[in-house]
A = this chain, B = another copy of it.
Amino acid sequence: MIDIDTMISKTAAWLEGKGPESDIVISSRVRLARNVVGFPFSHWATEDEMEDLLNTVEEAIQKNPPSEKYLFLRFTDLTDIERKILLERHLVSREHIQSKLNRAVAIGNDEQVSIMINEEDHLRVQVLTSGFQLNNALKLVNHVDDLLENDLEYAYSPYFGYLTACPTNVGTGIRASVMIHLPGLVLQRQIDQVLQAITKLGLTVRGWYGEGSEASGNLFQISNQTTLGKKEEEIVEKLAKIIQQVVEHERSARKILVKKDLSKIRDRIGRAFGILKYAHQISSGETMNLLSALRTGIELGVLKGVDIKIINELFLLTQPAHVQKILGKKLSQKDRDEKRADLIRKLLRDESL
């Protein structure tokens, strides 16, 4: 069994910067919505019924673990900050951590697999991998799902498919998404046009923190909207095709940028590095934007001497709950901004351009 402190001392596998197109696509995610026969949907369930469901699922996971070592966390055993850390690491949803009672999550060893229990649905089985590899994510999530089905009977209608608490998830119960870094399209002012086209094609665009979050740091989460009437493979394939086009647009935008004004890009990146390396107060929003600039520098081959691993580590560690967890206490925003700056300075101490 691993614990939450061990977890935050490592970078999540999905942020390793590996995998196909990883200079543009940060990560690929597929999650399945599942409900167990014989239990009411979480929204309608009594506390006892939810507790029963939780125990049933825990047992199924114990018998069919997502990896040899894994973490099973009941939210009642966690502090507010620890639950927010799970959100910041994209292991649970915002909605999931709004209540504590009978909520839990099982997390695979490298944080690729997470199984949310008593979210909107009884189970949300999620796989998050590095780079652009939706098909592999789909395979892995199906594998975890199949394992659980050894011990759980899912609510399923031959006509509708998997039954879910919210009609938007009925059918395959699948949502696939990528987290994509689009500084080229943003700087070239083509981003609105591209996002509009994506939306017209039936996809949804969100920010770093998913539903309800604004895009910051030039990071966008793009996912499928519909789950019904198509096979899982088709849904993922359609998404992948569109993302591939976005990737190509981003790649040409970057080429033009570098040709047009390399000095301006170097300036932007240099200033971002200088501020991160020497600031004494910094918000999480500014941090994310500056880290995005550094990431752009590495992706464009302009920034030498800084390891992408440190950038990715900073993406996670500088988020509000992480900063507080590392410092071991709740902090005011001003204190967080100071401690965040301390943390960044420490991690960048030996980095130079």
**Which residues of A pack against B, CB within 8 Å?**
263-264, 266-267, 270-271, 273-282, 338, 341, 353
Residues on B with beta carbons closer than 8 Å to the beta carbon of A282 = 267
Within the oligomer, what is the number of copies of this chain?
2
A267 to B266, CA, bound (A): 23
> 7 A–B contact pairs at CB < 8 A?
A263-B280, A263-B281, A270-B279, A270-B280, A271-B278, A271-B279, A273-B278
Interface centre among A264, A276, A280, A338 (most CB of B within 10 A): A280
A273 to B280, CA, bound (A): 12
Chain B residue with minimal CB distance to A302?
B280
Least Cβ–Cβ distance between A344 and chain B, in angstroms: 11
Residues on B with beta carbons closer than 8 Å to the beta carbon of A273 = 274, 278
Least Cβ–Cβ distance between A347 and chain B, in angstroms: 15
A353 touches B278 (CB 8 A): yes
Given A270-B278, A274-B278, list of 10 further CB < 8 A pairs? Answer: A264-B281, A267-B279, A271-B274, A271-B278, A273-B274, A274-B275, A274-B276, A274-B279, A275-B275, A277-B278
Residues on B with beta carbons closer than 8 Å to the beta carbon of A264 = 280-281
- Looking at chain A's contact residues, is the secondary structure mostly helix, strand, loop, or mixed? helix
Chain B residue with minimal CB distance to A345?
B270
Chain B residue with minimal CB distance to A266?
B280
Residues on B with beta carbons closer than 8 Å to the beta carbon of A270 = 278-280
Least Cβ–Cβ distance between A301 and chain B, in angstroms: 16
A276 to B270, CA, bound (A): 9
Chain B residue with minimal CB distance to A335?
B263
Chain B residue with minimal CB distance to A262?
B280
Residues on B with beta carbons closer than 8 Å to the beta carbon of A275 = 271, 274-275
Residues on B with beta carbons closer than 8 Å to the beta carbon of A278 = 270-271, 273-274, 277, 353
Chain B residue with minimal CB distance to A265?
B280
Residues on B with beta carbons closer than 8 Å to the beta carbon of A271 = 274-275, 278-279
Residues on B with beta carbons closer than 8 Å to the beta carbon of A274 = 271, 273-279
A165 to B55, CA, bound (A): 98
Least Cβ–Cβ distance between A333 and chain B, in angstroms: 13
A46 to B270, CA, bound (A): 55
Least Cβ–Cβ distance between A153 and chain B, in angstroms: 58
Q: Which 5 A-B pairs have the closest CB atoms?
A: A274-B274, A270-B278, A274-B278, A267-B280, A266-B280
A353 to B278, CA, bound (A): 8
Chain B residue with minimal CB distance to A349?
B352
Least Cβ–Cβ distance between A109 and chain B, in angstroms: 38
Chain B residue with minimal CB distance to A338?
B263
